[in-house]
Amino acid sequence: MADVFVSYARSDKARVAPLVAAIEAQGWSVWWDPEIAPGQEFDRQISAELKIATAVLVVWTPDSVESRWVRGEAREAAERGILVPVRFENASLPIDVRALHTTDLDDSAKDARSPQVQELLRALRALIDRQRATQPEPAAANSNSARSAPGGGSARVAICVLPFANMSGDPEQEYFSDGITEDIITDLSKVSALEVTSRNSAFLYKGRHADVPKVAREFGVSHVLEGSVRKAGGRVRITAQLIDGASNKHVWAERYDRDLNDIFALQDEISEAIVKALRVRLLPEEKQAIAQRGTDNVDAYNLYLMAWQYYVTGNEWDARRAEAIIRLCSRATELDPGYARASALMGISQMTLHFFAGRAGDTGLVATERALALDPNLAEAHAVKGRILSGDGRHDEASVEIDTALRLDPESYEVHRCAGKLRYRQHRFDDAIRHYTKATSLMESDIHSSSMLSSCCTAVGDRAAAREAARITLARAEKALTQDPNNGVAMAFGATALVVLGDIARAKEWMNRAALIDPDNTNARYNFACALSASTGETAAALEMLCPLFATMTKALLIHVKVDPDLDPVREDPRFKAMVAEAEARLAAAGNQ
C-alpha cells in the first residue's frame, strides 16, 4: 500500500515528478503509475491503489480537469476525506471540489523548500499521521480476527485466487480449470468476512509465474490461493495451496483426487477449507449459497463451462461461435431442464444470431424467459432480457429489467455490459461510461466494452479518457489476434482504437486485412464506418462502408444506427438519410424483422 496516491494527467508527468521526489524525501511511499504501458489494465491497478491509499494528491491542470479519470479519483478521495489538491495555471476546478482548499504551485513546484510545497507536505503529513494513529495493533497469532494486508493498512482478510493451472496435457481442457477457478472466486465472494480480488484482475496472471508477495502487494490482499486441475476420463485431481502474502508461507495446502461426479462436493469442500484456514466465520446462509451450483448434473455443468469459455474468449458476434454455444447449452438443458444459467446463456447467443446476424426466428426471449421462470433472481437473465427488449426498441421495458439485474448482482459482468448498451442507446453517456468501465474491469478478454467505453468518452468530449480506453482495446485486440488471426471483430475494434489513438495508416491496414479475411463480417464493417465518421472526418469513406450493410440490416442494428453518436457527422448527409429510409421500407415490407 502506498502512503500517497497521485492523480494527474499523463501530459503533466514532468510537473508531477518534482512533487513525487519531495514526497518520497519524507520517507513516504508514492504510487503514481509513470511506467504503465499503453493497453495495460490501468483501471484495475488504479482502483486497487486508490482504495488502499492513505492520502490522494490531485494535480489540477488545464489537461487534468478534462480527464474523467482524474475527476472521478478526486471525487472518491474527497468522499473519504483524504483529498489534497494542488493546481497549476489557475486551472478551473470541477464544481464538486471547489469548496476544498487548493494550493497553487506553478513555478514553486520544483523547489521542495518553497512555502507552497511545504504546505502540501504538511497536509499530507496530517493525513498519514492520522492513519497511523488509528491503525489497529496486529492480531495475535491465535486470534480469529482478520489479519493485516501486506504493507499495512486496516486489518482485514483479503484474498486473490490465481487461475488454476491446467495440468491435463490438453489445451482443450483449459475451459475446465478456468471454470473451477471462477467458481471458487464466486464462492468466496459470497462470504461477507472476505474481500476477494475480481476475476479480471486475477486472470491477468493466467499462464504467468506469480511471485506471491508481489501479487499480494499489487492487489492489497493478505492471502493468495493458487492451484492446478487435472481432468482425465472420469477422474479429477485438484491441488490447492493458500499462501500468506507477507511471509510467503503456506497456511493450508491439500490435494484432492476424486471421481468427476464429486466435483460439486469437492468445490464446496475447498471453499470451506479456505474459509476455515483464514479463521473467518461462515454464516449458515453463506454456506447454503456456496452449495448452490445451478445444477446437480456434472455433464450439464461441463457443457456449460465449455459454452461459457466460448462466450468470454471467442469472436464476438461470430455466427459459428453463437451456434456452438447454443448447441452446448441446448444439450445441457436436455440433461438438466432446470439449469437456468444454461438457458440464459443460450438466450444471449440466440439474440446474437437474430439481431446481429439477421437470422429469422427466435430472438432468445423464449430461453431467457425460461431461465427466469426457473430462477427469478438470476441477474444475468434479467440483463439479457433487457438487451433483447432494447434491440426491439422497447427501452422503457428494458430499463426495468436492467435495474432489476443491477439490484440482484451489482458485480456481474454481463449485467454491466447489457446496462452499458441500453444507456448508450438512450444517450445516457455518463451512466454508460460507468457500466462499460465496470464491465471492462470484470472481464479481461472483453474487447467490446472497452471499445464502447472509448466511444462514450468521445461522445462527452473526454478525449483523454477515450484514448485510455482505446489503449486497453488495442492491447486486448492484439492478444485476441495472436490466438485467432481470423478474428474479424478483434480487427474491427482494434482498428477503431487505432483511429482514436491517431494511427490512421495502421488502422486502415487492419481494415483492409479484415475485409480480405472476413468480408462478410457486418460488425467489422460497421465499426470501420463509425471510426471513419467519428474520428477521421472521412464521411465519404464511412458512407461507402455503410452502404452494403443497409441492404441486409436488421431492425435492432437500424435502431442502434439511428442513435449512435459515432455516426452524427454523416447523419444529415442525404445519402445516409436515403439508406435509412430504404432500410425502414424493406423492414416494414418484411414485417419489421
Dist. CA 329–CA 345, nearest whole Å: 7
Question: What number is the average pLDDT over the span 4-32?
Answer: 85
Strand 235-244 to 223-232 pairing: antiparallel
For 132-175, what is each residue's pLDDT tens digit? 665 444 333 333 333 333 433 334 588 999 999 988 777 778 88
Handedness of CA 222, 406, 439, 6 (dihedral sign): negative
Q: How many Å apart are CA 259 and CA 308, to the nearest integer?
A: 23
Query: Across residues 382-392, what is the average pLDDT?
Result: 91
Alpha-carbon gap, residue 443 to 534, rounded angstroms: 26
Give me 142's grid cell: 491465535
What would the DSSP string read from start to end of 269-302?
Answer: HHHHHHHHHTT----HHHHHHHT--S-S-HHHHH
Residue 47 has pLDDT above 60, yes or no: yes
Res 486: pLDDT:
79
Residue 376: C-alpha distances to residues 297, 530, 532 (Å)? 21, 38, 43
Contacts for 550 with CB less than 8 Å, ≥ 6 apart: 579, 580, 582, 583
CA distance 91 to 8: 13
Place of cell 497469532: 141
Is residue 317 pLDDT above 80, yes or no?
no
Which has more confidence, 104 or 150? Answer: 104
In this prediction, residues 300-309 reach a mean pLDDT of: 90
Of 152 and 346, more confident: 346
Q: Report the DSSP beta bridge partners of residue 226.
A: 241
Average pLDDT of span 576-581: 91
* 363 CB-side CA count, 13 A: 16
Band of pLDDT at residue 300, cut at 50, 70 and 90: very high
pLDDT tens, residue by residue, 252-287: 988 888 888 888 888 888 888 888 888 877 677 777
To the question of pTM greater than 0.75 for the whole model, the response is no
Q: What tens digit of pLDDT does each residue of 438-489 get?
A: 888 888 788 889 999 999 998 898 888 888 889 999 998 998 888 788 787 7
Other residues' Cβ atoms within 10 Å of the Cβ of residue 29: 14
What is the reported pLDDT for 210? 83
Rounded to whole angstroms, the Cα distance separating 578 from 263 reads: 58
Helix (H) or strand (E) holding 470: helix 463-483
Q: How far apart are the first and last CA of the chain?
A: 55
Q: Which of 187-201, 326-340, 546-560 has the highest mean pLDDT?
A: 326-340
The dihedrals phi and psi of 61, each to the nearest 5 degrees, come to -140, 170
* Domain annotation for the chain: domains and CATH numbers: 4-134 (3.40.50.10140), 158-293 (3.40.50.10610)
φ, ψ dihedrals at 262, nearest 5°: -95, 10
